[in-house]
Amino acid sequence: MIELRQLRKVYANGVVALDGVDLSVREGEILGVLGRSGAGKSTLLRCVNLLERPTSGTVTVDGRELSALGRGELRAARQRIGMIHQHFALLSSRTVAGNAAFPLEIAGVPRDQRAARVRELLELVGLADKAAAVPAQLSGGQKQRVGIARALAAGPSVLLSDEATSALDPATTQSILALLRRLNTELGLTILLITHEMQVVKSICDSVAIMSDGRIEEAGRITDLIATPGAALTREIFPLPEPAPPGTVTVTFAGQADEPVMSSLVRKFDVDVNVLGGSLEELRGAPVGRLRVRIEGKGAADALGYLTGLGLLVEVA
Amino acid sequence: MNFEELLPILAQSTGETLQMVAMATLLTAVFGLPLGVLLVTADRGGLTPAPAFKAVLGAVVNIGRSLPFIVLMVAVIPFTRLVTGTTIGTVAAVVPLTLGAVPFFARLVETALRGVDREVVEAAQAMGARRLAIVGKVLLPESLPGLVAGLTVTIVALIGYSAMAGAIGGGGLGDLAVRYGYQRFDTGVMIITVVLLIVIVQFVQSLGDLVARRLDKK
Ligand SMILES: Nc1ncnc2c1ncn2[C@@H]1O[C@H](COP(=O)(O)OP(=O)(O)OP(=O)(O)O)[C@@H](O)[C@H]1O
Ligand SMILES: [Mg+2]
């Protein structure tokens, strides 16, 4: 749905914000871009709708190469790409309904159709009763709901989000994330989001891209990355002392986390299992865990084989 | 001079002042608003980047701003004659008044527009809005309270200028104050005109403040 090819962005001051980025966002998925401050995340997102012109490389959204379009065509293409912002970017002089109607005015939708569509949108984001309020009268979470309603007004196939929950408290963040997930499943909306909060990735993302210094370090489906030895994502989600001390075994469980694997190991192979650290997380509702242990005893080698045979990711240091 | 003689003269002079200021305000808004918008959009990184044009425009505005009004008034006499066919009277006074107030108001418009959140303008760009729509639907409505405050300050300045314009034949309260109060040593007339000017300025300022406050939804 979104294809970025060999994207480079060098700002006028010489900063190389993107240094050859390739990224694909599949139709209907939620992809989260993670990375430290200054990694180039916002630049990447702003290149998708060409708010920032890449120095070189191509941007293709929904089959159209945006980087090749003229001014008028680009405007039309942008109407099909929704965007939400960290500080909401609402028009303070307009009501909630007026804000949601804004993209429709731009698209030239007649007044009577606008009213009906706005009602539908506010219903969708749960703000039907706030239609006449102005943004200053709303909470942060409500403002972001207006931002979402506005972003969806023209019926986009793609939603871009730059730190859309960073200005919100944890509970409000969860409700906004739940809304995004619902829009993703109900409308088939493809979402590309930027975040610095691991919690956002854990609760709604299908895929993730980790950026540093203008490059994508690692990208893919979360379930695939978790099953890949040495994935940076796994280390981010389950922080354990790195590198692992020699002689230790790090086991990553996905799905099997509720089975008593370790105790059966002890019984079956007559080994001692010394747990050094670990944690259990929920990824989109499914339990995933990572455990660092030292396995001692004659059956240690067989025990490792058994763990691998169960389909667990076993990394021996 | 007794009060009965004075009253019609006062009424006429007040009317002239209001007429001059009203006409000049209207023209100032018509020319100053687009000029202020251009000062913002022609920025490097603005909606219609044109740095060279912006530099010229800025210089012209600064020259207009730095000329003392009394000098400007005299300097533009040929232009005034060209436009109105005369150099004295209320209508003729509107020309220098407008020329003096346009650069002043344009800077105030510029300041008000710069107060609009950049992210909001970008949001509109991201939605595929035309530049004209961004000016008309984002920049101007979002800065409306600031624009009204700027116009209020401009009107107050125009009232002050108009008294000066009056002194060289424009009519109005300034003319009255000079003719009776200064040349004929009639302190009573002088005081009355000053009080009237103060009342008008107070009224304009209060009304402007009220409207600006009403429009501010932040
Ligand atoms: N308009 C600009 N002009 C010059 N340099 C810029 C500009 N915008 C960003 N940069 C630089 O480009 C680099 C990447 O910035 P970017 O905003 O994309 O990072 P980010 O990953 O979004 O960071 P954060 O998490 O802090 O938002 C930084 O070094 C930044 O200073
Ligand atoms: Mg950023």
d(CA B24, CA B32): 11
The overall average pLDDT reported for chain B is 91
Please report the pLDDT score of residue A247 as a whole number: 83
How many whole angstroms from B183 Cα to the centroid of ligand 1?
68
Mutate to test the pocket of ligand 1, among A9, A34, A41, A163 (most ligand atoms within 8 A of CB): A41
Please give the full DSSP string across A31-55, using - where no structure is assigned: EEEEE-TTSSHHHHHHHHTTSS--S
Please report the pLDDT score of residue B133 as a whole number: 96
Could you identify the atom of ligand 1 that is nearest to the CA of residue A11?
Answer: 4
Please report the pLDDT score of residue A69 as a whole number: 92
**Tokens 């990355």 belong to which residue?**
A225
Please report the pLDDT score of residue A246 as a whole number: 86
How close, in Å, is residue A103 to chain B by CA atoms? 6
Q: Which of A275, A205, A294, A197 is nearest to A236 (CA)?
A: A197
**Tokens 């944690």 belong to which residue?**
A279
Contact list, A99 vs chain B (CB under 8 Å): none
How close, in Å, is residue B117 to chain A by CA atoms? 8
Question: pLDDT in tens for each of the 317 residues of chain A?
Answer: 999 999 999 999 999 999 999 999 999 999 999 999 999 999 999 999 999 999 999 999 999 999 899 899 999 999 999 999 999 999 999 999 999 999 999 999 999 999 999 999 999 999 999 999 999 999 999 999 999 999 999 999 999 999 999 989 999 999 999 999 999 999 999 999 999 888 899 889 999 999 999 999 999 998 888 888 888 888 888 888 878 888 888 888 876 656 677 788 888 888 888 888 888 888 877 788 888 988 888 888 888 888 888 878 888 88
Which CA distances in Å does B153 have to A124, A133, B18, B212?
Answer: 45, 31, 16, 12
> Cβ neighbours of residue A300 under 8 Å, at least 6 residues apart?
A269, A271
How many whole angstroms from A33 Cα to the centroid of ligand 2?
11
3-state secondary structure of A316: strand
- For the record, the structure tokens of B144 come out as 């409306």
Please report the pLDDT score of residue A256 as a whole number: 62
- For the record, the structure tokens of B110 come out as 């510029």
B186-213 average pLDDT score: 92
Angle at B197 between CA B195 and CA B200, to 5 degrees: 110
How many whole angstroms from A38 Cα to the centroid of ligand 1?
5
Q: Which of A156, A207, A224, A216 is nearest to A5 (CA)?
A: A216
Contact list, B117 vs chain A (CB under 8 Å): 87, 89
- Tell me how crowded residue B73 is: count the other CB atoms within 10 A of its CB: 24
**Tokens 């650290």 belong to which residue?**
A277
Please report the pLDDT score of residue A3 as a whole number: 95
Please give the full DSSP string across A267-284, using - where no structure is assigned: HHH--EEEEEEEEEEEET
Which CA distances in Å does B194 have to A39, A61, B17, B101, B164?
Answer: 64, 68, 13, 22, 13
Given pLDDT bands bounded at 50, 70 and 90, which one contains residue B181? confident
Which site among A49, A71, A91 would you substitute to test the B interface, given the most B Cβ atoms closer than 10 Å to its Cβ?
A: A91
- For the record, the structure tokens of B105 come out as 């108001």
